[in-house]
Structures are given as structure tokens and as C-alpha cells.
Structure 1
């Protein structure tokens, strides 16, 4: 019986992690940093690149060129700043907060793409970053 409880807890934890990362029960698309970069090059005028990190992270770690900072804690109060007629590419530091932001935006009718791995993976792929 204790093995069943242990496996149930492990399984629930795994499902919760996958949910937080946006891999299951997601109403938005996950894309790699490379796919996001290509999409930005191809459809720059049809996209808003949204950074949901803190202002401190934004300042210290740099930003993806062309991104707009709206920290996730402020996002519900600033939704009206985002156009519904454009695609929204969302990123954070590692992909957890951007998945939560993507879930919120998608539920409000936005076409949302979550950049997997956030700016950390973006940097690992040697994609452009600039200081704000």
C-alpha cells in the first residue's frame, strides 16, 4: 500500500510540474528559442514580444531585443496594453512564469506562444540579447 501512495505522489508531482511548464493542459503553443527567433524575423510587425520577469532581472540579465517588460505580477492590471490582433511571444528566465502568463493571456483570447526555457535557453543558443 505504501508503494502505491508513494507512486501516486510522484505521479501527481510529475503531472503538476508538466502543467506548470505548459506541456500538458496548455491552451497555448510552446516554441523553442530558435523557432521564436525565426518567427520574429519573419513576422516582426505582427508580434509583441513580452518579458514577464521582474524589473531587476530585466536590468541585470538583459533582454531580447524588441521585448516589452510587464512583470507577471503586474500583468492582470496591464492586459489592456497588449493588442489582441497580434501574436504574443512570452518569455521569462526559465519558462515557468511565462507558461503561467501564456495560460492567462490565452484564456483571454490572445494568440500566445511560450518560449521554452526562457531567456536562459535563448542565451544558451547564442541568440541576440541586449542591455535595457
Structure 2
């Protein structure tokens, strides 16, 4: 507090001087309290900012974790697609074999007809 030193004025009563000293001390004290309040507000604000940063970092770590999981899932989907292609290939082979069997059955029928006709 930048209070000027008090020069007691002999024309003032002791009570008036004491009152003036009291006012100035209270003024200094209030100024100190306000400075402390400003400091505490700033500290609280800094702590909130730090807390928010920590939360952001946690969220960021969470996002990195999720990206990893998504990557894993994409890999699994890729594997499933590969397996589906393999199954389609196998289904195509089976269809070819069935067609081959049908042709053989047809040939056998023709052979049976020929044998029956020969009897």
C-alpha cells in the first residue's frame, strides 16, 4: 500500500488521527486481500486449465486407443473378406463338381437307355 506517512496534525484530536490511521491500515489490508484474491483466482484458473489439459490428454489417449481398435477391426474385416472370397471360390468349385456329376448322371442314363434298348 502506497500510503504516505502520517504526520499528525496538532489541530486534530487523537481520535481523528487514530481514525485516519485505522482507515489507511484497513485500506492497505483491503489492497492486500484483493491482491491475494487475484492471485487465488489466477491459480484456480491455471488449475482448471491444467485439469482441462489433463482431460484432453486422457481423451486423446482414448482416441488413440480407439483408432488402434478400429485398425484391428479393419484388419479382422479384411480377413473375413478374404475368407468370404475363399468360400465363394469353394462354392464355385462345388457348383462345377455338381455340374460335372449331372453330366455324368446324364451319360449314365444314356448308357442305361442304350443297354435297355439293346435287350
> Is TM > 0.5 for Structure 1 vs Structure 2?
no
Rg comparison, structure with higher value: 2
Higher strand share: 1
TM-score normalised over the length of structure 1: 0.22
Higher helix share: 2
TM-score normalised over the length of structure 2: 0.24
